[in-house]
Structure 1
Amino acid sequence: MKSFQIDQNLKEMTQHRTVDLPMACYETTIHQNIHGYIPLHWHDEIQFVRIIRGEAIFKINEESIVVGEGDGLYINSGCLHMAEEINQSNCVYVCLNVSPYFVLHSEFYNNYVYPYIRATNLPYLFLDSNDFWARNILDAILKIKKLIERKPTLFELDITVHLTFIWQNLMNNGFKLEHNPVEMQKDQRMKQMLNWIHQHYTGKILLDDIAKAGQLSRSECCRYFKRILNTTPLNYVTNYRIQKSSVFLKQTDASVTEVAYQVGFNSTSYFIDKFKKLMDMTPLEYKRLK
């Protein structure tokens, strides 16, 4: 089992780089995560995904996308996303995370990379292996992975060639970029509310508190959570507390009651009921299993 580390802002804490390069390429088996899925997070790096086994549903900002074997995704910098496998397909995907500043030579960044990073209508692109430009990207992902694993002579230079090829094909797909400051503000407010929840989840949380963190009314706050996370603010709080409790149950010797109060529940029976509904087992069963 692997623990997916994120900070209070939902930013992934994993260092996406090798010793020499500001990038990383690795395989991810979704069900091996401690939560059983890849939790909601974001990072500064752009991300390319290629499914090599099974299928998964990726939730990116306000949309859900099913991605099957052989296909993939481009996920833009700063976009909230998560992933769950479908039908216990034992989904495995290759993930290529790259600093936007490393994609092309710095002289080309402002003209050819930055417009994509700031495009508010481009949280992701589906990479359909039937499309020539997308297949080129998907194949290049695997080539980069092999180069990092084998490290042949001058492999760093070969990687930069493949990255340029990837970006050229991304640009050749003809996607029209747009920048809407209002959409950027929505994203920022959502992150502010989630950050506030993650900092205060151990105490009493009211809907008014969450709305205030995002500078929104109660009704608008609820619309944000429904549209982006398909849940209510207070249901998100409960689910987040359950996620945190699963880590404590696995990593500490604390009792179920102690963990319940540690993550903000004021009733052990209520905690057990909510945990069982979300995790399909009681906290004690989960603790013994893990």
Structure 2
Amino acid sequence: MQINDFRVDHRLKELTEHRTVVLPIACYQTTIKQNIHGFIPLHWHEEFQFVRILKGDCIFQINEDKIAVREGEGLFINSGCLHMATDQSDSGCVYICLNVAPSFVLSQELYTSYVSPYIQATNVPYLRLNSKELWAKSILDSMMKIHQLISQNPPYYEIDISLQLTIIWKSLIMNGVQLEYEQAEMVKSKRIKQMLNWIHEHYAEKILLEDIARAGQLSRSECCRYFKRGLKTTPLNYVTDYRIQKSLILLQQSDANVTEVAYQVGFNSTSYFIDKFRSTMGMTPLVYKKYKNEGSRLLI
């Protein structure tokens, strides 16, 4: 299963239903370049995410960190953490993605002691999964078994999936990370989500730096520092990038007009929209529209 039309709500929370079987999990193969955006845009979800790279290399951004992940390696991404992924050097990156509801990882009796502390910890937004380390290899192997179980659908496969999830979580705990809980980190995470939330609600309107800073209860300079540290961009550049993302869906409508789309997503100049779209997507909005309508790859 390839999720191409990646949808998030105004809070950047992913809207995709992470349930491909009767259990509250999803395990599917993703080719980054086949996504509607050409990359996996910034988002978050309540599910834990485990990733295993099958082919190529990619760059994941998780909160403030950028991590290069190569073929055969993987990642654990904690619940509620902002993340995105891009193909590195057009490698044709393909990966297995396993998303699982935290409440399903272990039984209710064990959840409080062994799962909840990891969700609350501020020093574990992600963990690298290196197959050379036994605990990580166990996770990567169990991911492939779950993917195979869902594909083949053998008798009692739901029970086998549950068993593999228990192995995965035990292996993760065996990594031995000392959990930390810093109030300042919790506040920072809350404020960046407040600012992103405000942008996603008002992107079609005129937006000033002061507006974004006010949403996060920060000064303009501190707002810029938050975006530079956490998102590797400026607040207003983020607004522009988000508007471009929103335009991609509109441009795929058969009756879409480039000028109308530009104003719908918050640009007050068609030429400026075209210029920014070209620099982001490597083609003009009109070429993108034709490319999507024809359903074929264009060489620009």
TM bin, normalised by shorter chain, reads over 0.9
* Counterpart position of 2:297: none
- TM-score, length basis structure 2: 0.95
* Counterpart position of 2:113: 111
* Counterpart position of 1:55: 57
Aligned mates of 2:112, 2:193 — CA distance in 1: 26
* Counterpart position of 2:269: 267
Q: 4+ runs of 1 displaced by more than 3 Å? A: none
CA contact 2:131–2:140 (8 Å) conserved in 1: yes
Aligned residue among 120, 128, 131 for 1:129: 131
Aligned residue for 2:12, secondary structure, equals coil
Give CA-to-partner distance per residue, 1:136-172, whole Å, 9 cap, x none. Answer: 1000000011111112111111111111111111011
* Counterpart position of 1:22: 24
Aligned mates of 2:115, 2:108 — CA distance in 1: 10
Q: CA deviation at 1:54?
A: 0.7
Letter of the structure 2 residue corresponding to residue 154 of structure 1: Y
Aligned mates of 2:161, 2:248 — CA distance in 1: 39
Unaligned runs of 5+ in 2: 293-300
* Counterpart position of 2:44: 42
Aligned mates of 1:286, 1:97 — CA distance in 2: 31
Aligned mates of 2:155, 2:260 — CA distance in 1: 55
Q: CA deviation at 1:286?
A: 1.1
* Counterpart position of 1:82: 84
Give CA-to-partner distance per residue, 1:85-110, whole Å, 9 cap, x none. Answer: 11111111001100001000110001
CA contact 2:21–2:150 (8 Å) conserved in 1: no
Give CA-to-partner distance per residue, 1:211-262, whole Å, 9 cap, x none. Answer: 1111111111000000011110001111111111122111242211111111
1:122-161 to 2 correspondences below 5 Å: 122-161=124-163
Q: CA deviation at 1:174?
A: 1.1
May I ask how many residue pairs the two structures share in their alignment? 290
* Counterpart position of 2:240: 238
Aligned residue for 2:79, secondary structure, equals coil
1:96-107 to 2 correspondences below 5 Å: 96-107=98-109
* Counterpart position of 1:283: 285
Unaligned runs of 5+ in 1: none
Letter of the structure 2 residue corresponding to residue 48 of structure 1: F
Aligned residue for 2:252, secondary structure, equals helix
Aligned mates of 1:2, 1:56 — CA distance in 2: 17
Aligned mates of 2:229, 2:13 — CA distance in 1: 20
1:115-264 to 2 correspondences below 5 Å: 115-264=117-266
